[in-house]
Amino acid sequence: MKPRLNVVTLGVANMERAKEFYRNALGWEPVDPNDGIAFYAQGGIVFALYPMKGLAEDAMLPSERSGFSGVTLGITLDSKEAVDKQYRQIIENGGKSLVEPRDTFWGGYDCYFADPDGHPWEIAWAPFWKYDEQGSLVM
């Protein structure tokens, strides 16, 4: 089997706050809700939330974070208007604005926000992106 990116797990300080944010800001519901971890089906990739301390211990890394880690997460949408609408919904539900929606140098449209734990996300649209039947981006 060829290695694939199948799971993205974010460490969070407060599971209930994080689940509420992703529910209200993005409309995501956990597929198997429990108190210890939350899994979200995302079109071929599983997005997970896990307590920061436990995740750091499991990976044998320090749990303290400082500054930019060199990683952003991305959500793609099908129009500029959809980016604007989603951005507003995220900010209204506790997301922190990092970059307001704007036209990009690469011909698309994007914005950035941070979730309640400070993880940076991009929301983007491009006229040349195509999607499969499940809504996954096809490159």
Q: Taking all residues of the chain, what is their mean pLDDT, rounded to a whole number?
A: 94
pTM of the model: 0.90
pLDDT at 47: 97
Helix (H, G, I), strand (E, B) or coil at 104: coil
pLDDT at 62: 87
pLDDT at 136: 85
Low-confidence ranges of the chain (pLDDT < 50): none
- Pair 125, 82: CB distance under 8 Å: yes
Per-domain boundaries in the chain = 5-59+71-136
Topology (CATH level 3) of domain 5-59+71-136: 2,3-Dihydroxybiphenyl 1,2-Dioxygenase; domain 1 (3.10.180)
pLDDT at 48: 97
Say how far residue 56 (Cα) sits from the centre of its chain. 19
Cα–Cα distance measured from residue 139 to residue 136, given in angstroms and rounded to the nearest whole number: 10
pLDDT at 122: 98
